[in-house]
Amino acid sequence: MPLFFYSKDGTNTRSASGQPGFEYWQNKADYKLSAKLNESDNEITGTSSITYTNNSPDSMSFLWMYLDQNLFKEDSRGNAVIPITGSRNGAQGEIFDGGHKIKSVKIVTSVKGISTEKEAKYLINDTRMQVFLPQELKSRGGVVTIKIDFSFISPKEGSDRMGILGTKNGKIFSIAQWYPRMCVYDDIAGWNTNPYQGASEFYMEYGDFDVSITVPANHFVVCSGELINVSEVYTVDQQKRFSQAKQSDKTVVIRSKEEVLTAVNATTKTHKTWHFKMKNSRDVAWASSASFILDGARINLPSGKKSLAISAYPVESEGNEAWGRSTEFTKALIENYSKRWFEYPYPTAINSASIVSGMEYPGIVFSSYKDKGKDLWDTANHEFGHIWFPMIVGSNERLFAWMDEGFNTFINSLSSDDFNNGEYKDKPVDMHVIGLKYTNPDLETVMSSPDNMKEANIGDLCYRKPSVGLVILREQVLGAERFDLAFRTYIDRWAFKHPAPDDFFRTVENVAGEDLSWFWRGWFVNNWRLDQGINSVKYVDDNPKLGTLITIENFEKMVMPVVLDIKTKSGKISRLKLPVEIWQRNKDWTFKHNSTEEIESVVLDPDHVFPDYNESNNAWKSVK
Amino acid sequence: MKNICLKYILQLTFLLGTSFLWAQQNRVSATTKQNSNYDYHEAFAPFFLF
Q: What is the pLDDT of residues A543-570, one digit of tens each?
A: 999 999 999 999 999 999 999 999 999 9
**Closest residue to B31, CB basis, from A458, A557, A616:** A616
Read off the amino acid at residue B30. A
Enumerate the β-bridge partners of residue A297: A309
DSSP SS3 for A321 = coil
Confidence category of residue A571, pLDDT binned at 50, 70, 90: very high
Give one word for B37, left, alpha or beta, with left for phi > 0 and alpha for psi -120 to 50: alpha
- Is residue A223 pLDDT above 50, yes or no? yes
- Is residue B10 pLDDT above 80, yes or no? no
Instruction: Indicate the CATH number for domain A235-268+294-394.
Output: 3.30.2010.30
Domain A1-21+395-527, architecture per CATH: Orthogonal Bundle (1.10)
Q: Which residue of A has its CA nearest to B28?
A: A621
Backbone angles phi, psi at A56, to 5 degrees: -70, 165
SS3 readout for A27-40: CEEEEEEEEEEECC
Read off the amino acid at residue A376. L
- Is residue A591 pLDDT above 70, yes or no? yes
DSSP A70: G
Q: What is the pLDDT of residue B49?
A: 44
Cross-chain residue pair B35–A616, CB shorter than 8 Å? no
B18–A contact, CB cutoff 8 A: no
- Is residue A53 pLDDT above 90, yes or no? yes
Across chain A, mean pLDDT equals 97
Q: Please, are residues A496 and A394 in contact by the beta-carbon 8 Å criterion?
A: yes
Enumerate the β-bridge partners of residue A146: A50, A107
d(CA A150, CA A156): 19
End-to-end CA distance of chain A: 49
Read off the amino acid at residue A103. K
Give the residue among A513, A528, A426 at the shortest CA–CA distance from A471. Answer: A426
Rounded to 5°, angle at Cα A47 from A46 and A49: 150
Contacts of A286 (CB under 8 A, 6+ apart): A175, A176, A211, A213, A221, A222, A223, A224, A276, A364
Residues of A in contact with B27 (CB under 8 A): 616, 619, 621
**Closest residue to A464, CB basis, from B9, B31, B42:** B9
Read off the amino acid at residue A19. Q
Q: Which residue of A has its CA nearest to B49?
A: A3
Of chain A residues 456-475, which have a CB less than 8 A from chain B? 456, 458-460, 463-464
Q: What is the pLDDT of residue B15?
A: 59
DSSP SS3 for A306 = strand
Q: What is the pLDDT of residue B17?
A: 57
Q: How many CB pairs (< 8 A) connect A and B?
A: 143
Q: Please, are residues A457 and A466 in contact by the beta-carbon 8 Å criterion?
A: no
B27–A contact, CB cutoff 8 A: yes
B46–A contact, CB cutoff 8 A: yes
* Dihedral over Cα of A14, A339, A354, A229: its sign: negative
Rounded to 5°, angle at Cα A134 from A132 and A136: 85
SS3 readout for B3-39: CCCHHHHHHHHHHHHHHHHHHHHCCCCCCCCCCCCCC
Q: Which residue of A has its CA nearest to B13?
A: A433
Confidence category of residue B28, pLDDT binned at 50, 70, 90: very low
Q: What is the pLDDT of residue B25?
A: 45
Helices A465-472 and A405-418 cross at an angle (nearest 10°) of: 60
- Is residue A624 pLDDT above 80, yes or no? no
A555–B contact, CB cutoff 8 A: yes
Cross-chain residue pair A463–B3, CB shorter than 8 Å? yes
**Closest residue to B2, CB basis, from A382, A464, A616:** A382
- Is residue A348 pLDDT above 50, yes or no? yes
Q: Please, are residues A175 and A154 in contact by the beta-carbon 8 Å criterion?
A: yes
Report domain extents, chain A.
1-21+395-527, 25-205, 235-268+294-394, 532-621
Q: What is the pLDDT of residue A269?
A: 81
Q: What does the pLDDT average to over A278-305?
A: 98
- A9 burial (CB, 10 Å; 0-12 / 13-18 / 19+) is exposed
How far does A268 lie from chain B, in Å, by closest CA?
Answer: 35
- Is residue A41 pLDDT above 80, yes or no? yes
What are the distances in angstroms from CA A48 to CA A202, A531, A542? 19, 55, 82
B25–A contact, CB cutoff 8 A: no
How far does A517 lie from chain B, in Å, by closest CA?
Answer: 7
A617–B contact, CB cutoff 8 A: yes
Cross-chain residue pair B47–A615, CB shorter than 8 Å? no
Confidence category of residue B18, pLDDT binned at 50, 70, 90: low
- Is residue A29 pLDDT above 50, yes or no? yes
- A401 burial (CB, 10 Å; 0-12 / 13-18 / 19+) is buried
Percent of chain A with pLDDT over 90: 96
Which residue out of B11, B29, B35, B38 would a mutagenesis test of the A interface target, given it has the greatest number of A Cβ atoms within 10 Å? B38
Q: Do A1-21+395-527 and A235-268+294-394 come out as alike in CATH topology?
A: no
DSSP SS3 for A607 = coil
For chain A, give percent helix, strand, coil, nearest 5: 30, 35, 40
Which value does ipTM take for this structure?
0.85
Fold of A25-205: Immunoglobulin-like (2.60.40)
Of chain A residues 22-81, which have a CB less than 8 A from chain B? none
Confidence category of residue A326, pLDDT binned at 50, 70, 90: very high
CATH number belonging to the domain at A532-621, selected among 3.30.470.10, 3.40.50.150, 2.60.40.10, 1.10.3720.10: 2.60.40.10
What are the distances in angstroms from CA A395 to CA A154, A334, A494? 27, 20, 9
- Is residue A154 pLDDT above 50, yes or no? yes
d(CA A329, CA A490): 26
